Amino acid sequence: MTIERSGRAARPERAAGLLLHVTSLPGPWGIGEIGPHARRWLRALSAMRQRYWQFLPLGPTGYGDSPYQSLSTFAAHALLISFDDLRRDGWLTAGDLQGFPITDATRVDFGAILPARRARLQAAADRFSAASAARQRGFAAFRRRQADWLPDYALFMALKTEHGGRAWTDWPAPLAQREPDALDAARRRLDREIRREEILQFLFDRQWAALRRTAARLGIRLIGDLPIFVAHDSADVWARRDLFHVDDRGHPTVVAGVPPDYFSTTGQRWGNPLYRWEAHAAEGYRWWIARVRRALAWADWLRLDHFRGLQDYWQIPASEPTAERGRWVAGPRDALLAALRNALGGRLPILAEDLGIITDEVRALRDRFGLPGMEVLQFLFGELAERPDRLERLRENSVVYTGTHDNDTARGWFEASAASAEGEVARARRAAEALLGRDPAKAPARMVELAWRSPARLAIAPLQDVLALGSEARMNTPGTAQGNWQWRFAWPQLTAAAKTRLARLTRAAGRAPPAG
């Protein structure tokens, strides 16, 4: 998709892409990385005539391993650094990699690989730190460019390790309250650990920049993901408490969520601290501008999660155990988007995640800035009984998905819905059968074809749906704390037949890149 310099959205190119998080890539080191297998994935996308790769947030994860609850909105997850590329560049040796615990190649066992990978990343950072100035070329410049967030993040991570991973509000008060003398002493005490964290961020950035160059050569654009809220236990809140609704001890006073609805009688209490939007406005949204610029160093476009929170957001007192006793509060609305557009030189490469109960005001905000919205086929089937032309009338300026990271796979959803004899799920199932048939093995391919042949300018499917995988390949089940974010694919699953089939569909649907 393209953006005019005026800031108005140009007519997006008709294209297609696949959704796959980095952690789901194959490879021998326990988790997907940004090295050889990521480059092979880009070549596979090109062979399938895809023009977009979408992934989930790249930040360092904390408890629960969710990329949507990151320890920093500016930092990258060092766990994704490629061991193979570190060895090629001399920062790891064959000896460093001996004895790496072998884990199930189809799942990410975070508990097993975290300490094993961390030890090897520290070895690489120490080797880099001891290298000559010539071999460290670029590191000092990186530190200067990232000076707004990198020192605080590196200190935060070093302190978090020192305190056994506890949340920053449980640290000794002088550190939690960021008393200057306590921070100075910590910097001296943890100098080596701080430098390691800075080096790992540099190494990630260097590897990712190389990956982006490969993508550009292949004509692949990258879509990142930007959660609207940040985690409370993060370097962001610890370093800039003035920008969040927290009390004198750093605890949230109000938190984010969504109100009760058809799916949940008590709503969803996410627990993220809410922004002091007046403080952001007073500094010209400088923190948000820096945040978006940092994310755009990794991607061409950003999916802004929970876009409706820019218009109005559900504010829940932190003392409430559920989301029932919240209220709607006005968000920054046009002011933030205008500030971002101006700072980015008239560009606003944002996809608005506008799912759920969306008001006319939210749609109007989206449309005033020409932002593409989202459509999800699994949700749309339920509307077809009353609006049979719903699929044919999708907005051109939108991105249509077969499903997202929060959905079951297309096959899993199709199989599970067969158990419903009545109600909304049953109605959606009947509408799906009319379009997809009754064979669960064939339904995913037909759903991908529906998305690809739709009027939406961009169509995206999770790789699981291209491979017709069942619920065992689901990435995340909202409301559950265990077993998420673990799925990985293996190269034999992506057969030549599957690649040829998607390439042919992409060409037939008018979404393939121009020949030559």
Q: How confident is the model at residue 7 (pLDDT cuts 50, 70, 90)?
A: very low
For residues 57 and 373, what is the distance between their CA atoms, to the nearest angstrom? 19
- Predicted pLDDT at 263: 66
Query: Is a pLDDT exceeding 80 seen at residue 8?
Result: no
Active site residue 191: no
Q: Is residue 423 over pLDDT 90?
A: no
pLDDT tens for each residue of 462-491: 999 999 999 999 999 988 888 999 999 999
Spell out the residues 6+ positions from residue 262 whose beta carbon is closer than 8 angstroms to its own: 424
Is 406 known to be catalytic? yes
Instruction: Indicate the average pLDDT of the chain.
Output: 94
**What's the order of all strands across the beta sheet hosting 327-330?**
268-273, 254-258, 312-317, 327-330
pLDDT tens per residue, range 198-216: 999 999 999 999 999 999 9
Contacts from 348-351 at CB under 8 Å and sequence distance 24+? Answer: 348/3, 348/7, 348/9, 349/1, 349/3, 349/296, 349/300, 349/301, 349/302, 350/301, 350/302, 350/303, 350/304, 351/223, 351/301, 351/302, 351/303, 351/304, 351/399
- What residue spans of 324-481 are helical by DSSP H? 334-343, 360-368, 377-380, 410-417, 423-436, 443-452, 463-466
Contact between 415 and 471 (Cβ < 8 Å)? yes
The residue that leads in pLDDT, 424 or 377, is 377
What confidence category does residue 104 fall into, taking pLDDT thresholds of 50, 70 and 90?
Answer: confident
d(CA 415, CA 99): 41
What residues contact residue 126 under an 8 Å CB cut-off, 6+ apart? 196
The residues facing 269 across adjacent strands are 257
pLDDT of 274:
98
Residue of higher predicted confidence among 99 and 157: 157
The predicted structure's pLDDT at residue 122: 98
The helix (run of H) or strand (run of E) holding residue 458 is strand 458-462
Which is the catalytic residue, given 96, 193, 305, 354?
305
101-121 average pLDDT score: 91
- Mean pLDDT within 507-511: 97
Please say whether the beta carbons of 17 and 54 come within 8 A. Answer: yes
Q: Which amino acid is at 127?
A: R
Q: With 80 as the cut, is the pLDDT of residue 382 above it?
A: yes
Decide if 202 contacts 142 (C-beta within 8 A).
yes
- Residue carrying structure tokens 């300026």: 397
Mean pLDDT of 205-228: 98
Q: Is the pLDDT of residue 281 over 50?
A: yes
Angle between helices 191-217 and 180-189 (to 10 degrees): 80
Mean pLDDT calculated for residue range 96-106 = 87
Name the 3-class secondary structure at 405: coil
The closest of 432, 459, 456, 455 to 444, measured between CA atoms, is 432
For the cut 50, the answer to whether the pLDDT of residue 3 exceeds it is: no
Cα–Cα dist 269/260, whole Å:
10
Residue 102's pLDDT band (cuts 50, 70, 90): confident
Q: Are 34 and 215 in contact (CB under 8 A)?
A: no
Identify the band that residue 428 occupies on the pLDDT scale cut at 50, 70 and 90. Answer: confident
Return the structure tokens found at 275.
């922004």
Rounded Cα distance between 7 and 342, Å, is 8
- 3-state helix/strand/coil string of 299-346: CCEEEECCHHHHCEEEEEECCCCCCCCCEEEECCCHHHHHHHHHHCCC
pLDDT-derived band at 384 (thresholds 50, 70, 90) equals confident
The answer, yes or no, to whether residue 12 has pLDDT greater than 50, is: yes
Looking at residue 196, its pLDDT comes to 98
pLDDT value for 5: 34
* Contacting residues for 15 by C-beta, under 8 A, at least 6 apart: 1, 50, 51, 52, 457, 458, 459, 511, 513
CB 493 within 8 A of CB 463: no
Percentage, residues of the chain above pLDDT 70: 97
pLDDT (average), residues 83-101: 96
The one catalytic residue in 33, 236, 353, 354 is 353
Whole-number Cα distances in Å, 71 to 35, 57, 233, 252: 23, 12, 6, 16
Quickly list H helices, 48-129. 83-88, 94-97, 110-129
Q: Annotated catalytic residue: which of 126, 406, 415, 433?
A: 406
Mean pLDDT over residues 307-335, rounded?
97
305 is known as an active-site residue: yes
Please answer whether residues 34 and 207 qualify as being in contact, where contact means their C-beta atoms are separated by less than 8 angstroms. Answer: yes
Q: Is the pTM for the entire model greater than 0.85?
A: yes
Q: Is the confidence at residue 416, as pLDDT, over 50?
A: yes
Mean pLDDT of 493-501: 98
15: three-class secondary structure by DSSP: strand
Average pLDDT of the residues in 414-433: 83
Q: What is the pLDDT of residue 125?
A: 98
- Taking 50 as the threshold, does the pLDDT of residue 9 lie above it? no
- Confidence check: pLDDT of 398 > 90: yes
Phi, psi of 367 (to 5 degrees): -75, -30
Residue 388 pLDDT: 84
- Amino acid sitting at position 314: W
Element (H, E) at 373: strand 373-376
Side-chain half-sphere CA neighbours of 408 within 13 A: 14
Buried b / exposed e over 458-496, threshold 16 CB at 10 Å, is bbbbbbbbbbbbbeebbbbeeeeeeebbbbbbeeebbee
Give the distance, in angstroms, between the CA of residue 332 and the centroid of all CA atoms in the same chain. 22
